[in-house]
Amino acid sequence: MSEPNRPIFYDPTQRRGVLLQRLLLLGGVLGATALAIFFASILSVPISHRVRLPVPKFLPDNPRRAAESDHAPLPEHTRLPLALPVGGEAPGKGEGVVGGFYVDWDEVSIASLRLHASELTHLFPGWLHLNDTGDGLRITDHDPADDEARALAQKYHLAVFPLVNNFSANVNDFEEGRLHQLLKSPSKRAKVAEALLKYVSEHHYAGINLDLETEREDDREGLAVFAQEVAARFHAQALQVSACTQVGEPEEAATIARPCDFVIPMIYDQHYASGTAGPIAPEPWAEHELAQFLKAVPANKTVLAIGNYAYDWVASKPGAKTLTFGEAMVTAQESHEGTDGVVTWDREQGNPHFSYEEDGSRHEVWLLDAATSYNFLSFARSKGVTGRALWYVGSEDPTLWSCFGRGKKPENAQALRTVRYGFELDFEGEGEVLDVATLPQTGERTITTDAKGTITDERFLSYPTSCVLRRSGKAAKTIALTFDDGPDPRWTPEVLDALKTAGVPATFFITGVNAQLYPELVRRAWDEGHDIGNHSFYHPNLALVGETRTRLELDATQRAIQAITGRSTTLFRPPYGVDSQPSTSEEVMPIAAAERLGYVTVAEGIDPRDWEKGSRKRTAAQLVESIERDAEAGAGSIVLLHDSGGDRSATVAALPELVRRLKAKGYRFVTVSQLLGQRRDAAFPPVQGRQRWLSIVDRAIFATSSGLGRILSAIFLFSLIAGALRLLLTALLALRHASQPAAVTAPDFHPLTSVVIAAYNEEKVIVRTVQALLASDYPNLEVLIVDDGSKDKTAELVQSTFGAEPRVRLIVKENGGKASALNLGIESAKGEILIGLDADTLFATDTVSKLVRHFSDPTVGAVAGNIQVGNIVNRLARWQALEYTTSQNFDRRAYAQLNAIPVVPGCVGAWRTEAVRQAGLYQTDTLAEDSDLTWRVRMAGWRLLCDNDARAFTEAPEKVSELLKQRFRWTFGTLQVLWKNRRACFNRQYGAFGMVVIPLLWVFQFLLPALAPAADLGVVLSAITGNLQAAGGYMVFFFLLELSAATLALQLDGGSQYSLLWELPIQRVAYRYLLFVVLLKTLRAALSGMRAGWGKLERRGSARIQRGK
C-alpha cells in the first residue's frame, strides 16, 4: 500500500517525467528515421527492366469473338457490309436518315458509339447471319458491348435495324452457297423471314437491314423475291425493311428497293482489297455511280453509304490489308521518312494516298477520310440525297462528324483541319498482355477548296493518333492461371496445395497490404515456382486516383515483393480488372502509368466470374465449364481467378477438375512469364547493389507491419469477443438482480442517518440540494454541510436559509480538499448510517428511505443508489443520461449480484458508519475517493448492495471541455485505486471482487479503450484487404448486442427513456474517442508522475428532479 498522504503515481522530483519525455523523443526519432528510409526507398524504386514484347504491325482483321461468334474480319471484297436504317423520319424529309453501322468485333466501335450516338438517328448492328444451311439465323448479340450498344440506342432514341448477312468467317467473305440454298427454297425463305420478324418484334426494334450479297446471276431475281416476302411480313406489323445494294447494277437495285422503305448503295471499292492497288472511291467514278443509281431509285429512298477506311497493298503480292482511318494514320506516322508516309491528295481521283517501304517490300495505301466524305456528301445533296450511313462507327476520321452527324452538313471544309480522337483507343496484335504502343496525339492538316467549296487538296502537318494498345501473349492450347487480391491466410495455402497436387504453375497478382501481412505465403508461392505480379498496395481504382498515387501504390508493392523474395517483378494487373480489350481512356491510364515504371500489364481473356456473390455465386462445376468453354472458343490464354476477397472454396474445388479436363484436351499450363517466352531472371530480376540494402530496411518495416497487422486483427477480435461476453454476463446478472424481491424493512427501522455534503463554491446549487433532502420522507435525518473554504457565499446562504432548521448543521473549515471535508463531516456525524452527497445532486423524497432500509442486515456495509442526469439540456447531456442508465447503473446491478460493486458513488451512496471508520475514512492519495473507500470496505468483508429505486439527479457537464475534465478525474482516480490495490487482482481472498471485477476494470476501462483506435484500424485494414464483409458483420452483431443490452437496461430502469436509444450509434463512437483522449492524458500523468488536481466544474444549477422516474 502507498503512503496515505502521497498521491498515487506522484513523483515530487519529476524525474520520471523527464525520462518519459526523453524516451518518447528517442522513439519518435528512431521511428521517423526508419519511416523516412522506407518512404525514400519507395520513391527511389528504379524503373524495372522492361520485358520485350512482340510488335505486331496491325490490328488483326477480327480481333474479337471470332471463334465464339463465327464473326470474321472485314471481308476482303469489293463490297463492305452496310445496313440501312429504318424508322423515325423517312428519308427525303428534312435531313433523312443519319445511320451508323456498329460491329462487335472491333472494340473501338462501341467507344466511338458512346461519343456519337446522340448524332445518329439509326443504328445498324451486325448481329444476324444466315446459318450454313440457309434455313435459319445465327445470332451474335450477346457481348457486353452489344448490351451497351442497345442501351445507347434506347437512351438516344435510335431506330435499330439489325443487319442480316451471309458473311462467313470460315471463308472470310460473303458465302454464296448458303444464300443460294435460301433463295431457291420457298420454305427456307419463309422460315428465315419469320425468324427475322420474330427477332425484331421480340426486341422492339424498328426494322431489318438485308445485306445479302452474291455474284451468282441465277440468284439475282431471288434476292428481289426474298426482299418482297420479308417486306410483306414486316409492313404488316408496321415495321420497316432496308437493304444494301451493290455498285454498278441500278436496275437490280431498283427491283430490291421497290418493296423496301429505303436502300443503301455502297459506292466504294472500285479498287478492292483482293484486286490491284488504286483509289477506293475515285470522285468521278463515285459521282457517276450515284447519278446512275438515282435514275433507278428515288433520292428520297436513298441513304448514301459513307466509307472511312484504307487498303494497304504490298507490291507484287495479292490482297491488301484493311485498315481503319486511325490505323492508316499510325502507319503513315511510323513510316514517315523522306517521301515515305506522306499523305498526298490525288487531284484527279479526289482520294488521298501514301506509300512506304517495310521489310524490303513497297507498300501503297489508299484511304477514304473526312475530306473524301465531305465532297461526296456535298454531291449527294445536290442530287437530293440527304440520308447517309457510316461504315462503320469506330473506323472513321473523327472530323467526319462535323459534316455527317445529325443536323450537320458539308458547309465548312475548314472544320476538318484539326483531327482529334475522342475515344482514343485502338489495338494491335493478339493476346492479353498489354502495353501502350502510342499515346493520343492531335493531328493538323491544311484544307484547300475551289470556288464551289469542293476540297481539292489536303496536306497533313501532323498525323492524328489514338491511344494504341499493343496486345501479345496469344498461344494456342496454352493456359496461364492467375490469382488476384492475395495472399489470404485462408485460401492462398489451399490454392497452392491444389496447384502443387495438380503439378501446374500459376501467377499471383498480390496486393502490398496483404503481402506485408502474410509474407510467408508470398515466399512460398515464389519458392514453388509461381510468378508474382503487382496488383497495387491498397487495391484502389487507379483510374480515379492519379499518376502520383498510382506510382506510390506500385512502388510500395514492388518494395514488399523485393523485401520478401529478393526479386523485382515486371508484371502488373490493375485493380478492378481490365480485360484484353479496354474500352475507355480511364482504363488505359493505369496501363500507361505502369508502362512508364517498366511494367507490362497482364489482362485476362477468360473470366469465369469466381468473384460473384449471393445468388449469382458460381459453383466449382460452373467455373470449370466456363473456363473450358472460353478456352475452346479461343477467348484467350489467361484465366482470371481469385485467392482472396471472399469465399474462394469453389475456386479451390474447381482446380483439380479444370487441370484434368484441359490437359486431356492437349492444353499446357504456364506462368505469365513463360507465356511471354521470358526467362525467370529476366521477368523477375534479382535486387542488387544499393537497392539490396534498402530492401533490408524494407523487410524490417514490412515484418513489423505484418506483426502489427496481426496484432490489430487479434485486438479487433478480442475486443468484440470480450465485449460480447461481458454484455451477456452483465445482462444475465442484471436480470437476476431485478427478479429479486424488494428489500423489506421493519416499520420501526429508522436509524439516525447523517447526510454529509462537502461544499466548495456551491452557492448556485447548495440551497436546492438541502431543500430536496429536507423534503425527504425519512423521519430520522441530519444534514451536515462542510464548507471547504469556499470563496463565494456558500456558507452564508446555508446559514441564512437553514439557520433555524435543527436538522441542518454548518461546519466551516479551511480548504483541504473533498476527502478532508467529508472526513470532518463523518467525525462530526451522529448517525449510524452515513450518506455522502455531492452538492449538485438532488434526492427524490424516498431516496434516503430506500437506501437506509438495507442496513437492517448487519452484514451490509454500503448501498449504492441510481444516478440520473437531471439536466438533459443538450445532446452531450443525453449521451451521459444514456451512459448512466445503460452502463453505470446496469453494471452496478450485475456487480451487486457478485458482491463486487466497484464504486458506491459519492452522489448517491449510503454507508454504515462503523464500516467507514473501520476502513479508515476517506483517503487523499487518489482522486476517486469514493472508489477507494468502496474497495476498502469490501475488502474488509462487508457486503455491498445497490438499490436502483433510490434515485438521485445530478448535474452533468454540458460542455465537452467540462466532460473531459470530469472523466480525467474519474479515469485517473480509478487507475490510482487499481494500482494502489493491485495485489487484490486475481486474489481469491476477495471472491468475485478480486477474481472478476478488478480484472474487468483493467480490461474494459483501460486496456480496450486504449486499443479502440487500433481495433478501428483493424476494421479499415479488413476493408482494404477485402474482408470488410466479415469485419462489418462482426461489428453489426456487436452493435445489435449493445442495442439489446441498452434496451434491457432502460426497461429495468423504468422504461421511460427509450428515446435515448436513437443516440446510441453516435454516442458509442464519440465516447470511444473521447475516452481515448482522456486515457492518453491519464497515462501521461501517471507515467510522468505529475500532480493531478481535482478540476472542479462550473455549477449551473440546471439539475431537476425528473418526476415519474
Positions marked catalytic: 484, 642
Own/partner long-range contacts of 521-524 (Cβ < 8 Å, ≥24 apart): 521/486, 521/487, 521/488, 521/489, 521/492, 521/493, 521/496, 522/487, 522/560, 522/561, 522/564, 522/565, 523/564, 523/565, 524/493, 524/496
Copy the grid coordinates of residue 1078: 482522456
CA distances from 546 to 28, 381, 554, 678 (A): 31, 48, 12, 31
Q: Could you tell me if 428 and 56 are in contact, meaning their C-beta atoms sit under 8 angstroms apart?
A: yes
Backbone φ and ψ for 24, nearest 5 degrees, come out as -65, -40
Query: For 1055, what's the count of Cα atoms within 13 Å in the CB-facing half-sphere?
Result: 3
To 10 degrees, the CA torsion angle through 249, 253, 254, 255?
110
Amino acid occupying residue 557: T
Q: Locate cell 490437359: which residue?
A: 663
Return the closest-CA partner of residue 834 out of 754, 759, 908, 773: 754
Q: How far apart are CA 408 and CA 381, in angstroms?
A: 12
CA distances from 1098 to 192, 670, 816 (A): 92, 75, 19
Return the closest-CA partner of residue 351 out of 271, 463, 273, 446: 271
Q: Which helix H or strand E contains 1019, and what residues bound it? A: helix 1008-1024
Q: How far apart are CA 213 and CA 84, in angstroms?
A: 14
Query: For 755, what's the count of Cα atoms within 13 Å in the CB-facing half-sphere?
Result: 30
Copy the grid coordinates of residue 433: 498482355
CA distances from 798 to 259, 323, 495, 724, 1050 (A): 111, 102, 80, 49, 37
Q: Could you tell me if 153 and 101 are in contact, meaning their C-beta atoms sit under 8 angstroms apart?
A: no
Q: Locate cell 479496354: which residue?
A: 582
DSSP annotation of 324? E
Backbone φ and ψ for 331, nearest 5 degrees, come out as -60, -45
Kindly calculate the radius of gyration of the chain based on its CA atoms and give it in whole angstroms.
Answer: 43
Return the closest-CA partner of residue 55 out of 433, 329, 342, 464: 433
Return the closest-CA partner of residue 298 out of 247, 266, 263: 263
Q: Strand 753-759 relative to strand 833-838: parallel, antiparallel, unpaired? A: parallel
Q: How far apart are CA 643 and CA 163, in angstroms?
A: 43
Dihedral (CA of 699, 705, 709, 715) sign: positive
Q: How far apart are CA 256 and CA 387, in angstroms?
A: 18
Print the SS3 string covering 334-368.
HHCECCECCCEEECCCCEEEEEEEECCEEEEEEEC
Return the closest-CA partner of residue 1017 out of 794, 711, 704: 711
Amino acid occupying residue 1063: E
Q: How far apart are CA 15 and CA 21, in angstroms?
A: 10
CA distances from 41 to 47, 564, 611 (A): 13, 15, 34
DSSP letters of 591-634? HHHHHHTT-EEE-BSB---TT--GGGPPPHHHHHHHHHHHHHTT
Q: How far apart are CA 989 and CA 982, in angstroms?
A: 13
CA angle centred on 1049, ends 1051 and 991, rounded to 5°: 135
